[in-house]
Amino acid sequence: MFKRRPTRQICVGDDRVGRILIGGDAPISVQTMTAGYTHDVDACVAEINRLAAAGADIVRVAVPQRKDTEALHHILPQVRVPIVADVHFHFERALEAVEAGVHKIRLNPGNISDRDQVNAVIDACRERSIPIRVGVNEGSIVERRDKQKRLQELGRFFADRRQGHLLALMITKLEEYLDIFYERDFHDICISAKLMDAALVCEIYQEISKRFDHPLHLGVTHAGPKETGAIRSIAALSGLLCQGIGDTLRISYANDPIYEVEDGLELLWSLSLRERKGVDLIACPTCGRIQVDLFTLVQDVREKLAAEIEIPMKVAVMGCVVNGPGEAEGADVAVFAGDRRGIIYVQGQRVANVTEEQILDRLLEECRTFQQRVRDGQATLGEKSVEIVPPDPIGELGSGIDKIAAGEVERITQVRIDRGN
Ligand code: SF4
């Protein structure tokens, strides 16, 4: 749907863990980074495997100390996903990580700038056919140790527009750094330029996508807690992806990195940039017509289906039959709630009318059965849409309009909101 900006392609991985292509016409990949210590081998392996199981295509680990790169020798044989070593300050860590067999190196121009050191890393990566991500970052791009130099750099790039000087500085540092790689005739590169301001992230990636044909790693750095970081990240990344910019991405949260993977995948699925795995869950936001505890039901359905359904089945959980059927158009399995009851449909066929307490189990059962029918070739995903009525399920379920008018309906969902506050 969105025309991708053409980029060179790089390859991350090997025969054992598999190869992830980044750039060109390769699917946009989802990355994350472990939160624990790399030198804690067992915990690191467990975390990497958990992230890979959640769908991470590539996992990055920090290697600040020698004991972290030594740990890579024990970690790499135990994981089945390409691993990136994130190197700060000490170029020796990059050489040690390459020696250990890591699949990609990330260098930050703000932290390793010595030309000879960068050349040593380039040569080591070339020898093993390992790509390098050059990642500039607003937090490390501005000179901090030399105040005079800092003032000069910031002043030189000052522009009227908000923080324009920072973008110019980041791009200039990126260009200067990449020249070291070009002089070494090394082009196995991916680049990133992260800030925490979503609008600036859009602006800088638009700019660097015009200047370079290297694949772009998208991300908003230190985006914050999941609750706000999600909005910040999605605002920036979806805008860029819709312009065809971006070849791999990391959503970063101050939270369990499993959410980074889940939300990164959901972003790509939602934009039809990757083929969905598992359930596509639709649910209504509820309104004054609701007469079941829909919020709890939706969370339960989400958790259960995530564990059991592996095909991209569309499932709708709707609060009523007023707008529900139209909004659940195309759902393979759907439930429409009424007055403490739910009617369940499978591809347009009504299969059950159950009490509120029975909705979850019956819906799960229908989803499992439908998955099996698809696998057996007896049903096709998205073949038939939900069509309601006749017969009129409002009459059958009870619309509750009279009860609502009489003030007799318990606002269960609202009560839960109040409690949450
Ligand atoms: S489906 Fe019904 S309950 Fe849910 S938001 Fe729409 S009208 Fe309200």
Boundary residue ending a domain (245, 270, 295): 270
- Label the pairing between strands 132-137 and 104-107: parallel
**Mean pLDDT calculated for residue range 286-312:** 91
CA 325 to ligand 1 centroid distance, Å: 10
Question: Residues 410-420: pLDDT tens digits?
Answer: 444 444 444 44
In the chain, what percentage of residues exceed pLDDT 70?
A: 85
Higher model confidence: residue 23 or residue 393? 23
Same domain for 288 and 402, yes or no, is: yes
Boundary residue ending a domain (270, 289, 308): 270
Joined together, the tokens standing for residue 195 give 């800030």
Higher model confidence: residue 60 or residue 408? 60
Same domain for 182 and 65, yes or no, is: yes
Which of the four pLDDT bands, split at 50, 70 and 90, describes residue 388?
A: low
Is residue 34 in a domain? yes
Range among 147-156, 310-319, 330-339 with highest mean pLDDT value: 310-319
Range among 155-164, 335-344, 397-406 with highest mean pLDDT value: 335-344
**Mean pLDDT calculated for residue range 229-247:** 96
Domains in the chain, number:
2
Asked if residues 352 and 343 have their Cβ atoms less than 8 Å apart, the reply is: yes
Cβ–ligand 1 distance for 322 under 6 Å, the answer: yes
Same domain for 187 and 94, yes or no, is: yes
Per-residue pLDDT, 386: 56
Same domain for 58 and 165, yes or no, is: yes
Higher model confidence: residue 157 or residue 171? 171
CA 392 to ligand 1 centroid distance, Å: 17
In the chain, what percentage of residues exceed pLDDT 90?
A: 68
CA 342 to ligand 1 centroid distance, Å: 13
Asked if residues 250 and 264 have their Cβ atoms less than 8 Å apart, the reply is: yes
Which of the four pLDDT bands, split at 50, 70 and 90, describes residue 98?
A: very high
**Mean pLDDT calculated for residue range 285-307:** 91
Whole-angstrom distance between the N-terminal and C-terminal Cα of the chain? 41
Asked if residues 221 and 193 have their Cβ atoms less than 8 Å apart, the reply is: no
Closest ligand 1 atom to residue 318 Cα is 1
Of all protein residues, whose CA lies closest to atom 6 belonging to ligand 1?
323
Which of the four pLDDT bands, split at 50, 70 and 90, describes residue 159?
A: very low
**How many CA atoms lie within 13 Å of 199's alpha carbon, on the beta-carbon side?**
4
CA 23 to ligand 1 centroid distance, Å: 42
Asked if residues 288 and 412 have their Cβ atoms less than 8 Å apart, the reply is: no
CA 322 to ligand 1 centroid distance, Å: 7
CA 180 to ligand 1 centroid distance, Å: 59
Per-residue pLDDT, 417: 42
Cβ–ligand 1 distance for 320 under 6 Å, the answer: yes
- pLDDT at residue 160 greater than cutoff 70: no
Handedness of CA 179, 182, 183, 188 (dihedral sign): positive
CA 10 to ligand 1 centroid distance, Å: 47
- To which residue do tokens 């605002």 refer? 235
Is residue 355 in a domain? yes
Cβ–ligand 1 distance for 316 under 6 Å, the answer: no
Domain that holds residue 391: 280-420
Which of the four pLDDT bands, split at 50, 70 and 90, describes residue 23?
A: very high
SS3 373: helix
Cβ–ligand 1 distance for 325 under 6 Å, the answer: no
Of all protein residues, whose CA lies closest to atom 8 belonging to ligand 1?
287
Cβ–ligand 1 distance for 93 under 6 Å, the answer: no
- pLDDT at residue 270 greater than cutoff 80: yes
Same domain for 217 and 252, yes or no, is: yes
Which of the four pLDDT bands, split at 50, 70 and 90, describes residue 267?
A: very high
Residue whose CB lies within 8 A of the most ligand 1 atoms, among 282, 322, 343, 412, for a mutation test: 322
CATH number at 33 reads: 3.20.20.20
> Which H or E run contains 283?
strand 280-283
CATH number at 406 reads: 3.30.413.10
Which of the four pLDDT bands, split at 50, 70 and 90, describes residue 408?
A: low
Model pTM score: 0.85
CA 209 to ligand 1 centroid distance, Å: 43
- pLDDT at residue 126 greater than cutoff 80: yes
Cα 47 to Cα 79: distance, rounded to the nearest angstrom: 10
Same domain for 115 and 69, yes or no, is: yes
Same domain for 176 and 229, yes or no, is: yes
Same domain for 401 and 298, yes or no, is: yes
Nearest to 203, CA basis, from 181, 186, 188, 220? 220
Query: Helix 198-211 crosses helix 226-242 at what angle (to 10 degrees)?
Result: 30
Which of the four pLDDT bands, split at 50, 70 and 90, describes residue 349?
A: confident
Range among 107-111, 205-209, 323-327 with highest mean pLDDT value: 205-209
Q: How many CB atoms lie within 10 A of CB 92?
A: 14
Same domain for 287 and 399, yes or no, is: yes
CA 235 to ligand 1 centroid distance, Å: 27
- pLDDT at residue 337 greater than cutoff 80: yes
Per-residue pLDDT, 286: 87
Boundary residue ending a domain (270, 301, 318): 270
CA 42 to ligand 1 centroid distance, Å: 48
**Mean pLDDT calculated for residue range 104-122:** 89
Cβ–ligand 1 distance for 367 under 6 Å, the answer: no
Per-residue pLDDT, 414: 43
Is residue 1 in a domain? no
Range among 42-51, 134-143, 196-205 with highest mean pLDDT value: 42-51
Residue whose CB lies within 8 A of the most ligand 1 atoms, among 323, 335, 340, 399, for a mutation test: 323
CA 327 to ligand 1 centroid distance, Å: 9
Query: Helix 164-183 crosses helix 147-156 at what angle (to 10 degrees)?
Result: 100
Same domain for 201 and 287, yes or no, is: no
Residue whose CB lies within 8 A of the most ligand 1 atoms, among 282, 286, 412, for a mutation test: 286
**Mean pLDDT calculated for residue range 271-290:** 91
Of all protein residues, whose CA lies closest to atom 3 belonging to ligand 1?
319
Per-residue pLDDT, 405: 54
Asked if residues 66 and 41 have their Cβ atoms less than 8 Å apart, the reply is: no
Per-residue pLDDT, 142: 67
Specify burial of residue 169 (Cβ count, 10 A radius: 0-12, 13-18, 19+).
buried
Joined together, the tokens standing for residue 331 give 């759902």
Cβ–ligand 1 distance for 400 under 6 Å, the answer: no
Of all protein residues, whose CA lies closest to atom 7 belonging to ligand 1?
323
Higher model confidence: residue 18 or residue 290? 18
Which of the four pLDDT bands, split at 50, 70 and 90, describes residue 390?
A: very low
